[in-house]
Structure 1
Amino acid sequence: MVKVGIVVNREKDAEFKLTTEIVKWLLDRNLCVYVYYDLGIKNNNLICTDKDKIYRNSDFVIILGGDGTILGVAREIQKYNTPILGVNLGRLGFITEVEINDIYNALDRVLAGDYRIEKRIMIKADVFRENKCLKTFFALNDICITRGYLSRMVKLDAYIENNLVDTYNADGLLISTPTGSTAYSLSAGGPIVNPTLDVMLLTPICPHSLKSRTIVVSSDDEINVVVDRSQEGLIYLTADGQEGYELVGGDLVKIKRALNCLNLIKISNRSFYDILRNKLKDR
């Protein structure tokens, strides 16, 4: 029996109307469905459980929301390698695959095996203080090290494979995946990169220099960022703009490609460049 998980952004489907319709459609086809909200449906094939079990037990997971919802799911699901099908409930997204009006056609194709898997690299950031790892973060888009609201510029030393690249005096520093190249990195002046490439981007945010530019490195490289010990004021590390951690002077952040990728179910013939063209047109 095919097992399908469903994760929904409650702000996008507050009354669970769409979620309930999709669940009933799947149950009518004798599929096992995992959800983490009680929808009031009585069926032996409907299992209400926590997200971790949904990600671990499902053959694929339907994500109802937008790119932001997928970013949150990506960090949790990557360790299971479970494929996801993103359904867009907002504006045109770069990561979501299906629009609402095409959801059932898309599910028919997935259940018939008429799809492909597109792998997106993720990055892992370990925060060290006095040689002790305090925290680990995963990100699909980017790891950002930046100043607090009222702080001055931060001073950061960036190393690639133990080679000093530059000392940045800036508002911050972004380490992005190709998927994240169309997010914060783009706004910071970074290049647009095809999301299937195996690279990482190092982009300074508002650097106090005319020579500081984005550096593109292999995804096999390790990027080390050291916060200057004389640094005063608040400094934050954020993962995909959704998880955060306060840094202090002397902290070391080691960033490298994560062991697992995010597996995106792709069914449309819409290319990255089609999405890019439409997205830039909207701007």
Structure 2
Amino acid sequence: MKRDKYGIVVKPNSNKAEKIAEKVIDLLKNQGINPLIEYETKQSYKSFSSYEEFKMENNPPEKIIVIGGDGTLLRAVIRIKNNNSIFMSIRAGKRGFLLDVEEYEIENRVLDFIENRYALVEYPRLLPIFNQEEGSCAMNDIVIFTADGSLVKLIVNYENNKIYSIDGDGVVISTTIGSTAYSLSAGGPIIDPRLNAIVIAPLNPVQLHIRPVVLPYNGLITIESKEDSGSYYINIDGQEKIHGKSKSLLQVKPCKYVAKIARFNWWDNYYERLFNRLLTYW
């Protein structure tokens, strides 16, 4: 029987993440598995220079272990262009809410991952199409924000029905798993990620009556920038930026590729972990 290939992605410039990665590699080797090291990780750490490398964009391994914080996981997921890889996530960052494996339980969880003893959670993603050109799919959010401090003037529609016009710093379009990120800071609600929805949260609108809106996931969102709008950026999961200007069109629709993440007791004390890790920053 063909055995799965395993890849390792590590947060750069982190002694803690590097030490955890070394432990994970030893555990895999003890099971007869020689892991592949992601290209950028290999460039960041001399200790991994002897291992075979892989690139996320080009035929990545079937199973990938991510070690770091939320940004490390989002950076890995955004570069996946298919549904073939399953991620396991080990926390080594400051908050790391999206990563559910703690350092003390690594040995058991790595073995569980190898033996397929986990719940596979498939997270919907959002596909941005800017002026008819597709971008990378977002697991967390797609954000329009002012490029130079001038007012961004937008018209937001859902399924050809106008929701509202916004004059402000921009808008956040988030998934339910992303509702605890930038959307929350913009006044959006916390939505249980077991629900399938999209949150639209305006950023500092001049129109004080405008509030966040929760919409069904499977519809088409269109956001038009008005002729007198200031310039702006479109930020995809905090990883990719697209420059936008007036009289442009952003469409957001469901991505055909989900993010597959192996979860271990993910829902145990979920909200306690949420408030401890995410809302108590320091």
TM-score higher than 0.5? yes
Matches of 1:204 and 1:244 in 2, distance apart?
Answer: 19
Correspondence for 1:6 among 8, 11, 30: 8
Correspondence for 1:58 among 45, 58, 61: 61
* SS in structure 2 of the partner of residue 70 of structure 1: helix
Alignment of 1:161-180 (within 5 A): 161-180=159-178
Letter paired with 1:220: N
Cα RMSD of the aligned pairs, angstroms, is 2.1
State yes or no: 1:47 paired with 2:52.
Answer: yes
Structure 1 residue 207, shift from structure 2 partner: 0.9
Letter paired with 1:2: D
- When residues 225 and 152 of structure 1 are mapped into structure 2, their CA distance, relative to the original with a 3 A threshold, is same
Structure 1 residue 40, shift from structure 2 partner: 5.7
Correspondence for 2:265 among 261, 264, 268: 268
Correspondence for 1:68 among 71, 81, 103: 71
Does the Cα contact within 8 Å between 1:59 and 1:83 map onto a contact in 2? yes
Alignment of 1:99-248 (within 5 A): 99-128=102-131, 133-149=132-148, 151-232=149-230, 234-248=231-245
Does the Cα contact within 8 Å between 2:10 and 2:66 map onto a contact in 1? yes
CA deviations 1:212-248 (Å, max 9, x no partner) are 011111111110000001224x311111122111111
* SS in structure 2 of the partner of residue 27 of structure 1: helix
State yes or no: 1:251 paired with 2:248.
Answer: yes
When normalised by structure 1's length, the TM-score is: 0.89
- Sequence identity (%): 26
Match of 1:84 in 2: 87
When normalised by structure 2's length, the TM-score is: 0.89
Does the Cα contact within 8 Å between 1:4 and 1:59 map onto a contact in 2? yes
Does the Cα contact within 8 Å between 1:144 and 1:173 map onto a contact in 2? yes
State yes or no: 1:93 paired with 2:90.
Answer: no
Matches of 1:15 and 1:110 in 2, distance apart?
Answer: 19
Does the Cα contact within 8 Å between 1:65 and 1:89 map onto a contact in 2? yes
Does the Cα contact within 8 Å between 1:220 and 1:257 map onto a contact in 2? yes
Does the Cα contact within 8 Å between 1:81 and 1:262 map onto a contact in 2? no
Letter paired with 2:264: I
* SS in structure 2 of the partner of residue 73 of structure 1: helix
Matches of 1:196 and 1:122 in 2, distance apart?
Answer: 14
Gaps of 5+ in 2: none
TM superposition outliers: structure 1 runs of 4+ over 6 Å:
none
Letter paired with 1:110: F
Gaps of 5+ in 1: none
Correspondence for 2:36 among 31, 34, 42: 34
Structure 1 residue 92, shift from structure 2 partner: 3.4
* SS in structure 2 of the partner of residue 255 of structure 1: strand
- When residues 11 and 41 of structure 1 are mapped into structure 2, their CA distance, relative to the original with a 3 A threshold, is closer
Does the Cα contact within 8 Å between 2:24 and 2:110 map onto a contact in 1? no
- When residues 199 and 256 of structure 1 are mapped into structure 2, their CA distance, relative to the original with a 3 A threshold, is same
Does the Cα contact within 8 Å between 1:2 and 1:32 map onto a contact in 2? no
The alignment of Structure 1 onto Structure 2 pairs a total of residues equal to: 272
Does the Cα contact within 8 Å between 1:171 and 1:205 map onto a contact in 2? yes
Matches of 2:98 and 2:84 in 1, distance apart?
Answer: 17
Does the Cα contact within 8 Å between 1:140 and 1:240 map onto a contact in 2? yes
